[in-house]
Amino acid sequence: MRRTAAPPCPCQSGKSFDDCCAALIAGELLPDTAEALMRSRYTAYTLGDESYLLASWHPSTRPAAIDFTTDPAPKWIGLQIRQHVQTGADAAVVEFVARYRVGGRAHRLHETSRFVRTQGRWQYVEGDIHE
């Protein structure tokens, strides 16, 4: 019997989805770093998982909902983590570039995101988009 390889994680960690972001998104594990949270949030965007994204967003900046109904919808095609810096015991920044396509055209989202850890749980606060 041939085994098929597990699909790679969309966050491009080099691990399979099952060994990377799946347990985080399912709520079975908590991300241990802001980078792990960033990777799992990217993966949640690729999956359209609004509940995980909202749950991992700090309440002070969390929107009421995330609109995944844009037409045409973006197709997320890659993530590059440029930098992960611990800025305090419970604070960090992650600079990343996420690539996506809309209507056949390639785009990039380059952002430096801020994260805080509250009661042992990393949460996304906000980010600065680089033009």
Q: pLDDT tens digits for 54-111?
A: 999 999 999 999 988 887 889 999 999 999 999 999 999 999 999 999 988 999 999 9
Binned at pLDDT 50, 70 and 90, residue 6 comes out as: confident
Output the pLDDT for position 1: 57
CATH class of 22-130: alpha beta
Please state, in angstroms and rounded to a whole number, the distance separating the CA atoms of residues 55 and 63.
Answer: 11
Domain coordinates in residue numbering, the chain: 22-130
**Residue-averaged pLDDT of the chain:** 94
pLDDT for the residue numbered 131 = 81
